[in-house]
Structure 1
Amino acid sequence: MKFKKVSLQTKDLDGMKDFYKNILGCKVETELAHSFEVKFGYTTIEFNDQNTEGNPFYHFAFDIPSNQFSEAKEWVLKRVALSTEDGKDDVYFENIKAHSLYFEDPAGNIVEFISRTEDNPKSETPFSINNIVQMSEMSLVVDDKVMVAEELKKAGIIDRNGNKIDPVGLNFMSDKNGLVFLLLVHPNRRWYFSKKDAVIFPMTITLENGIKLGIDENNQFFLI
C-alpha cells in the first residue's frame, strides 16, 4: 500500500503555499485558484480551500532516510520550531525502531518526519525536502472505528499486528507489506506532540492501486 495522492482542506491557502514553497523548499507541481499540489517523494499532496468549514487540520508523517534523522532535525530547526512532548523535541519508538520529530504548518497540521532505521533507505545526499521518500502515515479520524476497519478489510487493509480494533485508542492499518499506514483515530484523542484533540475533517486518499477512501463533506467515511 502506498499513498499516491492525498487531498486536504485548508483555510489558509496562501499561507500554506508560502510555507511549503518558500520555507520547506517544495516545488509547487500544480497551482489553481483554490488549490495547489506539492510532491513528497512518491506522494502528492493537494491543499484546497473549496467549501472549507471550520479550520481543518490533520496529522501525517513522511519517511526520511534511515541514516539522516539528526541531519533532518538540524535542517527543520533552521526553518520552523519543533513541537515538544514532556520537554523533548523528538522521540524514539523502540517497537518499530524509528526516530520521529514533529512540527506544525500554518494551518496547524501536525507534520511528522520519521526515520525507520530498519525499513527506510539510506541517503548520502545532504538532507533537503527532496530526500523525503513518501508519506508513510495518514491519520483518519472517524466516529466508528470498528465499522471503518471492516470496510478497509475489503481493500486488504488490516491492523498491522492483527489486533482487535480498539474503539477509542489508535490502530495502525496497512496491507501485507506493512510499511505505509492509515492511523484510525477516535475524535477527541489528543495528538502526540500537540495540545490539539483529533477532529473529523474532509479528506481524500488515493492509493497506488486506484482505490479512493477518506471522509466526505458530511464527515462520513467512504471507500470506492
Structure 2
Amino acid sequence: MKIIELDLLTDDVNNTAIFYNEIMGLKIISRDKYGISFAAGSTKLTFRPSENVKPVYHFAFDIPNNKLQEAFAWMEKNVEILVVIPPDKIADFYNWNAKSFYFYDNNGNIVEFIARYSLDNTSEKPFDGDSILSVSEIGFVSKNIEKLSDEMCAKYNLSVFSKQPKRDKFIVLGTDTGLFILVDENRDWYPTSIKSKSFWTKVVFYNNGIKREMEISD
C-alpha cells in the first residue's frame, strides 16, 4: 500500500505553513482558501482549515533507513524530540524491523519519522526536508476497531500488516510502504498521554495497483 494524498484539519493554517515549510523543509505545492498542500516526498499532504476543532492526529513520514540519527539531529535543532522509554528517544520496533522518533507539530499532532530496514531506500544526500520519502502511516480512531478493520478490509481489499498481530485496541492494516493504524477511542497515542479521538481525514492510496479514496468523518 502507498499513501499518495493525505488531507487533515488544522485550526491554524498560518502556523502550519511555517512549521512544515520552514522547520520541516517541505515545499508548498498550493495555498488557497481551501487549505495548504505540501510535497512530502511522494505524498501530497494537505491541511484544511477548521475552527475551534482542535484536531490531533498521529501520522508518520518514511525517511531513508540510513538517515535516522542524521534526521534526529536535524529535527532536534527546532523541536523537542519526545521520550519513548526513559531516557530513550528512539523507538525500536524490532518486529517491524524499524526504528523511529516522535515530536509535536504546531498543532499538537504526534509526528513520527520512521526508518524501515526492510526497504531499499538508503540515501547518500545530506538529510533535509527533501529527504522525506512519503507519509507512510496515518492513525484512525474508532469505538469499535474490529468493525472498522473488517469494513476497511472488505471495501478496500486491505489486510492486517504481516508484522503486527491484531491486539484488542490496536490493529494495523497495510504493508511496509503504507499503514493504517487503528486504535480505540481514548487510547494514549504512543509515546504520549494524549487521548486518541477521531477527526475528519481523507486519504488517497494505492493498494494492489488500484487507486482508492477513503474519507473518515469525526
Please report the TM-score for the alignment, with normalisation by the length of structure 1: 0.89
Work out whether 1:122 is the aligned partner of 2:122.
yes
2:110 aligned partner: 110
The residue type equivalent to 1:76 in the other structure is M
The residue type equivalent to 1:197 in the other structure is K
Report the Cα offset of residue 74 of structure 1: 0.6
2: CA distance, partners of 1:95 / 1:157 = 20
2: CA distance, partners of 1:21 / 1:178 = 27
2:132 aligned partner: 132
Report the Cα offset of residue 162 of structure 1: 8.9
1:171 aligned partner: 171
2:26 aligned partner: 26
2:59 aligned partner: 60
Report the Cα offset of residue 96 of structure 1: 1.5
Report the Cα offset of residue 120 of structure 1: 4.5
Q: How many residues align?
A: 213
SS in 2 for 1:146: helix
2:8 aligned partner: 8
SS in 1 for 2:113: strand
Identity across aligned pairs (percent)?
28
Greater Cα offset, 206-215 or 95-104:
206-215
Please report the TM-score for the alignment, with normalisation by the length of structure 2: 0.91
1:222 aligned partner: none
Q: What CA deviation, in whole Å up to 9, does each residue of 1:177-198 have, x standing for no partner?
A: 5431101111111011212010
Q: CA RMSD in A?
A: 1.8
1: CA distance, partners of 2:165 / 2:24 = 39
2: CA distance, partners of 1:11 / 1:71 = 31
CA contact (8 A) 2:153 2:159 kept: yes
2:180 aligned partner: 182
Could you list the runs of 5+ residues in structure 1 that have no partner in the other structure?
A: 220-224
Work out whether 1:160 is the aligned partner of 2:161.
yes
- CA separation of 1:159/1:9 partners in 2, compared to 1, >3 Å: closer, same or farther? same
CA contact (8 A) 2:164 2:172 kept: no
Alignment of 1:46-85 (within 5 A): 46-50=46-50, 52-85=51-84
Aligned counterpart for 1:199 among listed residues 197, 200, 217: 197
Q: What CA deviation, in whole Å up to 9, does each residue of 1:96-115 have, x standing for no partner?
A: 12110000001011100001
2: CA distance, partners of 1:193 / 1:163 = 18
